[in-house]
Structures are given as structure tokens and as C-alpha cells.
Amino acid sequence: MFTIAKKEIVTNQNVVRITVNTGIPLSTNYYSAEKAITQMLTSNYNVYSGNNYEQLVAAWIALHSVENWSASIKCTEEYAWLQKLPPKKTSVLGGIEIIWANAVTKSWWFAYTVLETNPLFAKL
């Protein structure tokens, strides 16, 4: 069972960093912990296969903003991909920032970023 320890807005209200205690004991090797973390994230978030993160963030903001955005953003591959997401699984994984061993809790922790419409709540 993963436990969210901290959730904070990173660059704008839609890009959020979440810090998590995995509960995976340190006796588990790093690669096994990394695999479990990756499986959890990919099963709960949409994963964009492109490599232009800044363009993805701009497209996300344009898609979820009530303000009038430039047509050039709405013509991007990232914007088209976001429009095709299923309505119930709309959050997008930005990426895993770090995985570390916490000697105090004796478990693996990690931090990751996600694009979401409601930065107050996280689903795991």
C-alpha cells in the first residue's frame, strides 16, 4: 500500500509533484522496487510516449483552460493525444523524479510529477 506523504504544485496549478512512501521494505532490491513503482504508476495514469514535455504541459493547460489559447497549441500532436484520453482516466504521468531508500521508515520512497485537473487530490 503506497502512502502519499506530500503533494505540491511544481510549475503551475496543473503540474504536481507527489512524494510517496511505497511501504516496500528496504530488504527488497532497488530494481524490484522500481518495477513495482512503475507498474503502479502506469496502471493509474496515462503515459505519453512523446518526448516534448513542455509542449505536453502547454497542451494540457490549453485543453483545461477557459481562456482563449493560440491555435498553434491546439494543432499539436500532444493536444490531439490529450483529447483522446478516456474521461475517467485523465491524469497524465509526467515522470518519476527520484527513488530513494528511507532508513527511518525502512522502506523505499519516490517522487513523481503528474498533470491533473484537480491538484488537491491524488489517486493511487
Per residue in 73-94, pLDDT tens? Answer: 888 999 899 988 887 667 899 8
Asked if pLDDT for residue 69 goes beyond 90, the answer is: no
What is the predicted pLDDT for the residue at 101? Answer: 96
| Mean pLDDT computed over 91-106 | 93
Asked if pLDDT for residue 124 goes beyond 50, the answer is: no
Cα 94 to Cα 4, 12, 18, 42, 55: the distances in Å are: 17, 13, 11, 11, 12
